[in-house]
Amino acid sequence: MNIGIISIRGPEYHPNRRLAEAATERGHRMTLVHPYRIWPAIEGDKPGLMNPLEKSDLDVVLPRQGATVGDSCLALIHHFSLLGIPVVNDIHAVRLAKNKFLTLLAMTAARIPVPDTLFVNAPEAFAPAVTRLGGYPVVAKAASGRQGEGIRLVKTEKDLHSILRHGFDKYSGLLLQRFIPPAERKDIRVLTIGGQMVGAMELQPKDGDFRANFHLSGDSRAIELSPHLEELALRAAEAVGLEIAGVDLILGRDDRASVIEVNYAPGFRGLEAATGLDIAGKIVNYLADSY
């Protein structure tokens, strides 16, 4: 099997390197597909590709650009499907997962608990939104972002004005959520593959930061999930339509769980380090067995 990975990163980037190693160990190949060097084409009323890559050479494609994937790259993902090549995760799930608010809406429709969230796309909405959330501080999140990027803690009205001046795009909007200090919560990342939970870890923000992300803190530990939390993570992945998903949960002091985010191209360096599991191998095995 030849597995195509849509990525702008090179072969030494951790997920790409680990997936290539896992594929080789199992007698498969991995081909990096750079979305700005391979272009969709329609010729003779049929879809094709304008580049040296032969479409018949790929057996399955994994989009792995993360939430910052642009519309032009979404077109390439869809194009592979039209060429008859299985895409994991598919275009509909990727399009939904790339937008944090649309993801929360999908989970709300599936009756999955999520944090109180207000979506604002005009300056005059910010002050009433902060009041509605109970006042400062609040967390402001870009609708699309990766590895903790685009997340800011808004402590005062001065911080709010700073966002309006330098970090607000009305066409994209911002999500506002109540701030829960790290001491009053647990941050959990769950990886699901093919409707099964394969591993979970608790994340700790680094000193002075409020964001729990392994890319930022490098601090994680393996945990055993309760049946309730495992079911919640699986339902979240299903609600977004993802075969492979990184589901982020938050537990408050009352142990009430909410799903705060679902990622279609989750990193797994932290999970492999915390659990000792061969996550890359599990992904490759799933693709080989399913496609």
**pLDDT single digits (tens) 141-198:** 988 866 556 788 999 988 888 888 876 888 888 999 999 888 889 999 999 999 999 9
Whole-number pLDDT of residue 216: 46
- The pairs formed by 181-185 with CB atoms below 8 angstroms and a separation of 24 or more are 181/210, 182/210, 182/212, 184/252, 184/253, 185/250, 185/251, 185/252, 185/253
Q: Give 274 or 207, the one with higher predicted confidence.
A: 274
Contacts of 268 (CB under 8 A, 6+ apart): 15, 18, 191, 246, 279, 280
Whole-number pLDDT of residue 161: 84
Whole-number pLDDT of residue 133: 96
How far is CA 177 from each of CA 8, 142, 173, rounded to the nearest angstrom?
Answer: 31, 12, 13
Whole-number pLDDT of residue 171: 87
Interatomic CA distance for residues 265 and 281, integer angstroms: 15
**pLDDT single digits (tens) 219-267:** 689 999 999 999 999 999 999 999 999 999 999 888 899 999 999 999 9
pTM, two decimal places: 0.90
Whole-number pLDDT of residue 206: 67
Whole-number pLDDT of residue 30: 95
**Residue 2 contacts residue 59 (beta carbons within 8 Å):** yes
Q: Which of 205, 279, 291, 210 is nearest to 246 (CA)?
A: 279
Domains in the chain: ranges and CATH:
2-96 (3.40.50.20), 117-178 (3.30.1490.20), 182-290 (3.30.470.20)
Quick one: average pLDDT of 114-135? 94
Pair of tokens at residue 136: 């400062």
Indicate the residue type of 67: A
